[in-house]
Structure 1
Amino acid sequence: MATKTMQKNGLLLALFAIIATFLVLAVEALTEDRIKAQQRAQTLRSLNEIIPSTLHDNDLYQSCRLIQEPALGTSEPTALYRAFNDDRRSALAAEIIAPNGYSGAIRLLLAIDPNGTVLGVRTLEHQETPGLGDKIETQKSDWIRSFSGKRVRSADDKRWAVQRDGGMFDQFTGATITPRAVVQAVKRATLFLQQNSDTLFAADLPRCQQEQVMEVSDE
């Protein structure tokens, strides 16, 4: 009798596990498109913030191309956006990765002008500690805006570090790893974009795969 009861309980547990797994997969399938749409909308909002409409007359999202470059923080293809105004080059933007955040990779959006000056940086996705590392969000702090107007002079530009390391960027109280990771990633990517600006504007790169392009007004 005890053996049959154990078998019955085991079967019930297995059944519950199968049902729970099915429900999780079903929820993921139902929300996948919505999550992607929200991510697209966030990227567009961020693009419109750091490359305002006064600097371009082309559709930034439609200009998206794929580039594979370790200097952008990942070995995977990542998005590159090219802005034009009256057919003249006005800005480059790239989605970059800071791989060494406190809680994992931090996905960022960086834009520079044709002279290599940073137009802006925005955080697209992260898992940093609430109340500490999440100050890389504009909703929590203006820290991420401190990159605007700056330029990387060389790979040895020691200004591009947090103040604790002798640089010009503030660190967060109780959280140095997060800002250090972001500064390093932005420095590395900015230098790459500066040095390869002409090539990147002219390169015949593959288009980003976009199931749906959402229109988001400038903020």
Structure 2
Amino acid sequence: MKNRSILLAGLVLGAFAISGVSLVAMTHEAVDARIADNRYQAMKRKLETILPAGRSDNDPLSDRIQVHARERLGADSTAVYRVRKAQEPVAVVLEPVVPDGYAGPINLLVSVMRDGTLGGVRVVSHHETPGLGDKIEEQKSGWILGFEGKSLANPPLEKWAVERDGGVFDQFTGATITPRSVVNAVKNTLMYVQEQGDQLFAPKATSAPAAKPEGQG
């Protein structure tokens, strides 16, 4: 009788343990799904701010490739989202990294239209000094909005620099390094897109080649 009671108690405890584990697993899966959806929606909103409304009918977040061009894009692997309408190329959105920010790497989101002009640039994350370098944030100043419509021809390539270096882009009082680094990173992103051309839009591509070293055909 005593053994049966012990066995019954063990079965009850085992059932509770299995139920508890299952509940934790289900809760964890639901939380992960919610986090993933929140990230998706946040990135979708960011893309919408740097792409012309009504110019696409695909989901750029699903039409994505990884490219490898550290020299141009600042990281070993960079995401590229392709924007299309009626299956025709409209733009690409890249996530380059500014490796030489004043206080560390700066992560950008850069859209380049099919004609080579910038649809927009946004800062995704950074560690720049509050009140100085953080003016690259859209919420802190309108500086980052000044890239819209620019291209490698407007301004000319030699003018893609801050004013202190002979370029046309403003610098921040007391914080020249940050805007200088961002301007250079955006310029390099435009150069990469120009160098790769239609390869970035190939529907079945899994990656695009690294940028060709200067001096090579």
TM-score (normalizing by structure 1): 0.73
Q: CA separation in 1, counterparts of 2:102 and 2:38?
A: 25
Q: Which residue of 1 aligns with 2:186?
A: 186
Matches within 5 A, 1:77-156: 77-153=77-153
Structure 2: stretches of 5+ with no match in the other structure:
1-27, 208-217
Provide the aligned length of Structure 1 versus Structure 2: 175
Q: CA separation in 2, counterparts of 1:72 and 1:141?
A: 24
Matches within 5 A, 1:1-219: 39-70=39-70, 71-75=72-76, 77-153=77-153, 157-202=157-202, 204-206=204-206
Compute the displacement of 1:185 (Å). Answer: 0.5
Where relative contact order (Cα < 8 A, 6+ residues apart) is larger, the structure is 1
Between 1:181-190 and 1:194-203, the stretch displaced more is 194-203
Compute the displacement of 1:204 (Å). Answer: 3.4
Q: CA separation in 1, counterparts of 2:35 and 2:187?
A: 30
Q: CA separation in 2, counterparts of 1:112 and 1:201?
A: 12
**TM-superposition CA deviations, 1:33-64 (whole Å, max 9, x none):** 58776654443222111113411110121112
**Alpha-carbon contact 1:43-1:124 (below 8 Å) kept:** no
Q: CA separation in 1, counterparts of 2:37 and 2:132?
A: 28
Q: CA separation in 1, counterparts of 2:36 and 2:129?
A: 24
Distance 1:175 1:111, change over 3 A: same
Q: CA separation in 2, counterparts of 1:88 and 1:41?
A: 24
Distance 1:97 1:38, change over 3 A: farther
State the structure with more CA Rg.
2
Q: CA separation in 2, counterparts of 1:174 and 1:66?
A: 36
**Alpha-carbon contact 1:67-1:79 (below 8 Å) kept:** yes
Distance 1:182 1:40, change over 3 A: farther
- Pairwise CA RMSD of aligned residues? 2.3
Distance 1:106 1:112, change over 3 A: same
Q: CA separation in 2, counterparts of 1:73 and 1:80?
A: 14
SS in structure 1 at match of 2:135: helix
Percent identity between the aligned chains? 45
Q: CA separation in 1, counterparts of 2:137 and 2:87?
A: 33
Q: CA separation in 2, counterparts of 1:146 and 1:118?
A: 10
